[in-house]
Structure 1
């Protein structure tokens, strides 16, 4: 069913640390960058006037850039023109918000969409007194991070209270999965103020293709993709590999291959592989160019996505788009995207389930007919629910609804 597209809007996307122009693979560059870039591009294709506001993190950046898709990217001078760790950026949000307020007094948007909680603080400051509605997408919630990381959580101490205040003050919260709605409700955000629109994938890019030349080793290939951080669960995959002697594990992510020696998590994972006797069947690729990722995923027997927690999780739908079955932990967005027994398998996130994880992987590798069926179903599910066209349509409908409603946004209560 096709919906009538809403009238053209002036849309401001605020993404303080995740620029749509950033090269993926850095410590703070990942799914949010992709989301903002794709959403902006697809909204512009629909005739909306889209501007993305992101922090200037290099002295070499132009103040404004127009992308080939006619999206304007504004590099906001807030803090030093250099990379600042994400968790330290909150100190520069008042300056970011002041820039937005000054800009929007003369170039008033119809709707503001803030990405991540710190962007929300800047966006709310920017619209104060203007009556412009603010939509908030958190991309990750501090409550979830604190629950899983405990004392290792490096978030600013005010994060949880600020996230709750933004959720109560903005016009609408746009969540990416059903699990997030429950988390928001526990924070005090009324369910009727939350809309769910998932993340997406480009099924023309992520599509079944032939494996890269020289990729075959004669072993069954397990592939995992993501930033090299402990919560991604790559060590679980390594431990499971010890129970599957005819398989290899390939991990893509982190810095370029020639810099992996200086990456602490890479060294930790190599040590886990050595301790479990699978170092000869474990490969860290480092960062893999976007253009190579479909071949990497298509050449896998299974793609593993095993984080302890995941706000949405783009890797499973990229793999499904490539018609590759997925084994994923039953957390966050995985509960929406991966249909257990249809497009892949969901497993417990508990580390003590490593033997069960190996058994699930083994059962799939021993059943090529079932894996082919899962792969086909995964591709169909992506086309039905997770294309960027569908995502942009859903987000644009939310924009049109809030833009037609008088706004009380502007003060964080």
Structure 2
């Protein structure tokens, strides 16, 4: 099967940990590699961010990364990329008219817009993964949400027009229902974990004094590290190691002030950026991995910790509800509840045998359910179902209508403001 992966801002070649580089980069890279290993031919289309990037780069056997010339050839925040999606879609359409894939799999809402635009002119079926939903982000961040105002409307249009949506967890299915996504078009396939790297055995780092709690991720408020620092003041003797971002990042500076305010500055260590290859050894060195974001579309950190045989205390949100089994592989707590988080941490740290049992169960669950080969096979099965229906001539409701989606057109020929007619067609 020839598969086109479209990931406009998250390149599999990018370094994880940057402003817009994280779980989606890992997901696209790992899924592409696993699909290629199963005999499929994968081309990943991402936006060119440097004038010296080659148009095509061989990423691995069976996987090619194509840098699409859409917009300035420089690094841009993903929230600024919407004006360039028409150009991205037109470029894909030209390419696919002469060399069409069997199926296109778009990642994130802007990729969905560009892919649908290209697919309309080339009759390529489209599968989509949102990775995050604008409705959820706006609910939790309010005025701090920097997404384009068109996002929520665009996501609803993408959901209704693609041939299938792959949701990464059950909670996302519920959220998709709120934007009237037909349930018959949704499949649940979780994210995976690299079980060759994230293992219980392997090198560890010296993070003492212990016991050690680890929080790792991009330095943004919604990740909930402030809640963990507040809880630390109620967990005597523990050390909190915070990894991610630069030590001079404004959020890291703010968190350091929070630690001082709660009297735990001497028990909080900020490591800054940690290269991807060092993450498994860092996780294995912790007694507990703490991941308590306000919201999380899936949440790869708890899954990676579980694969390393480390118990997890996570917020009861998003994909955590699927991956973490309370009382078996770790504990779930409500987000932004530092006292309840502290109680959970004290409970686990007081019982080394329970910690060990949770760690063993966590590694077993990760191995049995979240291997990327298993995830790739489940994803390929969705592609096959879509292709079978597509080739069978099933009429899809609302497929690529002329005037249903207004986001791309609102930027065609210059930034027109709200109220412009919307369409997915390629000019």
TM interval, short-chain normalised: over 0.9
Give, in angstroms, the shift of residue 70 of structure 1.
2.8
Which residues of structure 1 form unaligned runs of 5+? Answer: 1-8
The residue aligned with 1:301 is: 287
Q: Partner of 1:371: helix, strand, or coil?
A: helix
| Partner of residue 55 from structure 1, selected from 41, 47, 52 | 47
Q: Partner of 1:254: helix, strand, or coil?
A: coil
Normalised by the size of structure 2, how large is the TM-score? 0.91
CA RMSD, Structure 1 to Structure 2 (Å):
1.2
Equivalent pair of 2:140/2:294 in contact (CA under 8 Å): yes
Alpha-carbon distance in structure 2 between the residues aligned to 1:177 and 1:382: 15
The residue aligned with 2:28 is: 36
* Structure 1 position 233 matched with structure 2 position 219: no
* Structure 1 position 169 matched with structure 2 position 161: yes
* Structure 1 position 130 matched with structure 2 position 122: yes
The residue aligned with 1:324 is: 310
Alpha-carbon distance in structure 1 between the residues aligned to 2:155 and 2:208: 48
| Partner of residue 345 from structure 1, selected from 327, 331, 336 | 331
| Partner of residue 242 from structure 1, selected from 217, 230, 233 | 233
The residue aligned with 1:109 is: 101
The residue aligned with 2:354 is: 370
Equivalence map 1:4-403=2 (5 Å): 9-210=1-202, 212-213=204-205, 215-255=206-246, 260-261=247-248, 263-349=249-335, 351=336, 353-403=337-387
CA deviation vs aligned residue, 1:34-55 (integer Å, no higher than 9, x gap) = 0000111111111111100000
The residue aligned with 2:412 is: none
Alpha-carbon distance in structure 1 between the residues aligned to 2:373 and 2:290: 26
Alpha-carbon distance in structure 2 between the residues aligned to 1:194 and 1:278: 45
Alpha-carbon distance in structure 1 between the residues aligned to 2:61 and 2:149: 38
CA deviation vs aligned residue, 1:72-108 (integer Å, no higher than 9, x gap) = 1100000001011110100100000000000000011
Alpha-carbon distance in structure 1 between the residues aligned to 2:95 and 2:202: 49
Equivalent pair of 1:52/1:71 in contact (CA under 8 Å): yes
Alpha-carbon distance in structure 1 between the residues aligned to 2:210 and 2:235: 10
Alpha-carbon distance in structure 1 between the residues aligned to 2:290 and 2:214: 6
Give, in angstroms, the shift of residue 210 of structure 1.
5.0
Equivalent pair of 1:210/1:299 in contact (CA under 8 Å): no
Sort the Cα spacing of 1:211 and 1:246 in 2 relative to 1 into closer, same or farther, 3 A: farther
Alpha-carbon distance in structure 1 between the residues aligned to 2:32 and 2:268: 38
Provide the aligned length of Structure 1 versus Structure 2.
397
Alpha-carbon distance in structure 1 between the residues aligned to 2:251 and 2:350: 32
Q: Partner of 2:57: helix, strand, or coil?
A: strand
Equivalent pair of 2:40/2:62 in contact (CA under 8 Å): no
Equivalent pair of 1:125/1:411 in contact (CA under 8 Å): no
CA deviation vs aligned residue, 1:264-301 (integer Å, no higher than 9, x gap) = 10110000001011111101111111121111111111
* 9-18 or 291-300: bigger deviation: 291-300
* 95-104 or 128-137: bigger deviation: 128-137
CA deviation vs aligned residue, 1:91-146 (integer Å, no higher than 9, x gap) = 10000000000000001111000000000000001111322110110000000000
Equivalent pair of 2:242/2:272 in contact (CA under 8 Å): yes
Equivalent pair of 1:31/1:314 in contact (CA under 8 Å): yes
Equivalent pair of 2:55/2:68 in contact (CA under 8 Å): yes
Normalised by the size of structure 1, how large is the TM-score? 0.94
Equivalent pair of 1:305/1:326 in contact (CA under 8 Å): yes
Give, in angstroms, the shift of residue 60 of structure 1.
2.1
